[in-house]
Amino acid sequence: MVHYTLELNANYVGLRYDTVFSGTPTSNIKYYKDDVQKVIDKLDGKLIIKYYPTRSASVNTLSAHLKQMEIQEIKPDVVIVDYADILKPTTFYKEKRHATGETYEHLRGMAGEFEIPVWTASQANRSSLEEEVIDATKVAEAYSKVMIADFVVSVSRKVEDKIANTSRFHVIKNRFGIDGITFPSSMNTNIGKIEIYESTTQSGQEVQGKMDNSQEYLRKQLSQKHKQFEKDVEGFE
């Protein structure tokens, strides 16, 4: 797998992968280096992380790097671009949405040329911050992103979801299957653990219940934290 990072440096991205694979929070990895290394050593495959400063690399830059790996007989299974909106456009446009649309077209072309799936992320607009489900109309900058992509899924998290470690995955578009469906999910960003459930399963119903009663769940969580705070204050002299 190849991960192109255009925002965070390669070392930090590597630490995040270590966190996902080992379940150890990034801030604690330095205390458990040996344990984390044992987990990493057992993994199959190879991960290549390549960093380019924001707006310094275009799709042509990524394509050239993939060709170099091809010469070295390295064939990645998947390419992650983090993230396409901050790639350097190859053509100057007055409007950013046109440049963004061209970038996504070139990414799709690159995926076809090398016969490798390419995944990237994009942001939603501000109006979607408290939306239950983020649909295609909430994609920021250019709707053409949705038109060009083969598969589009959105992730929505309200304030209550961040406290309850829940989220919603909504399939906006799927050229090869059903779309318009939403899956409840548990999401722990501290260790990068995400579990997506069918809404009919027991785990899915439990997560959905948390989200349906988010206000009550939030009230209970705040109450528990307040009681813990009072307890800590009483024990402090």
pLDDT tens per residue, range 56-89: 999 999 999 999 999 999 999 999 999 999 999 9
Per the model's pLDDT, the better-predicted residue between 234 and 189 turns out to be: 189
Reference 79, options 44, 107, 54; nearest CA is 107
pLDDT of the residue at 51: 97
Sign of CA dihedral 89, 92, 96, 100: negative
pLDDT of the residue at 125: 84
pLDDT of the residue at 120: 97
pLDDT tens per residue, range 17-39: 999 999 999 999 999 999 999 99
Report, as an integer, the average pLDDT of 96-109: 92
Beta bridge partners of 51: 5
| Domains of the chain, start order | 1-121 (3.40.50.300), 124-237 (no CATH)
pLDDT of the residue at 131: 83
Sheet containing 166-174: order of strands:
151-156, 166-174, 182-188, 193-196
Beta-carbon count within 10 A of 175 CB: 9
Phi, psi of 200 (to 5 degrees): -90, -10
pLDDT tens per residue, range 150-187: 999 999 998 888 888 999 999 999 999 999 999 999 99
pLDDT of the residue at 218: 64
